[in-house]
Chains A and B, each alone.
Chain A
Amino acid sequence: MIVPLSHVIVLAGILFSMGLGCIVAHRNLIMTLVGVEVMMNAAAIVFIAAALRWHLMEGQVFVLFIFAVAAAEVSVGLGMVVRVYRRTGSLDPDRYDILKW
């Protein structure tokens, strides 16, 4: 007996909304990536709790895939951030306006 499932879901939901707020509020591409990491972390917590609730191992397998996807996402995202910083000299998404006319 650890805790009710609902408490774990509430924890993950609060974490997810924190990540959402981080993405919306910050004007810095690295902080946006940090927000995405927080959201993926929350999703992984829900998967683990559901795997324990129904005694199915598929939830844990999904968390393994979440790790892989997060690694790929962060590496590609940081590569794009470095690229765009070289072109514009800024990390503020509002300044990426070279396609505007």
Chain B
Amino acid sequence: MTLYTVIFYLLSVVILVATAMAITRRQPVYAVLYLIVAFLGTAALFFLLGSPLLAGFMVIVYAGAIMVLVLFVIMMFQRSPQDPGSFFHWGPAGLLAVVFASLLVTMVFKDSGAGVMLKGVAVSPRDFGHFVFDRYWLAIEIVSLLLLVALVAVLQLGKRTEADDDESERPVEEGQP
């Protein structure tokens, strides 16, 4: 049992606990904050598993940009969007998740090739960049198109239209004589 093994299990515990706290919160703000902890743990796990560049991207893109975007949107709502919060909903969901997870664990440990030890090899960011733009440049272009399409879609979705005003503001006016 090397030091890396200990670090891996510690990181696993951090990720699992933070995710479990995140998905059981009723306030989305706390859920997102716990999720940032989980994503930082995942970034450290990526670093441990030999991809420092992706660990940096994880911190910048996932824990930084995406989560801050979600936080901003939560703060845009006037009332805090809270769950009704009944544990009735957790019955089927928990059953589904437990069945899925136990099936997966059984299948993984049945497989004879699953016990292969991972050897620590790190890919330098320079090699990774050369590899990506050497072989997968077309996919990178397609992904950039995808981001452009998402940008246009968000601009269109964010516009306030007449239908919004009809639906959301007229009932308020009618309600006040």
Query: Which A residues contact B (CB, under 8 angstroms)?
Result: 1-11, 13-28, 30-31, 33-35, 37-38, 41, 44-45, 48-49, 51-53, 55, 57, 60-61, 63-65, 67-76, 78-83, 85-89, 91-92
Contacts and interface: CB of A to CB of B under 8 A. Distances in A.
The 5 closest A-B pairs by CB, nearest first: A6-B114, A25-B93, A21-B97, A24-B93, A72-B150
A17 B101 contact: yes
A35 to B, nearest CB: 7
A24 B158 contact: no
A86 B4 contact: no
Interface residues of B, number: 88
Nearest to B156: A79
Contacts of A82: 73, 76, 157-158
Given A15-B15, A26-B89, A34-B31, A74 B70 contact: yes
Given A22-B93, A34-B70, A72-B147, 7 more contacts: A1-B119, A2-B48, A3-B117, A25-B90, A28-B28, A78-B69, A89-B168
Given A48-B54, A70-B66, A75-B150, A2 B97 contact: no
Contacts of B105: 10, 13
B61 A71 contact: yes
B130 to A, nearest CB: 10
8 contacts: A8-B118, A20-B97, A24-B89, A61-B139, A67-B62, A68-B147, A86-B167, A89-B168
A70 B104 CA distance: 24
B146 A49 contact: no
A91 B117 CA distance: 46
A10 B53 CA distance: 24
B120 interface: yes
Contacts of A87: 163-164, 167-168
Nearest to A90: B81
A64 B54 contact: yes
Contacts of B153: 76, 79
Most buried by B among A34, A44, A88: A34
Given A1-B4, A35-B23, A79-B157, A30 B120 contact: no
A86 B168 contact: yes
Contact of B97 (A17, A49, A53, A88): A17
Given A3-B5, A4-B114, A34 B73 contact: no
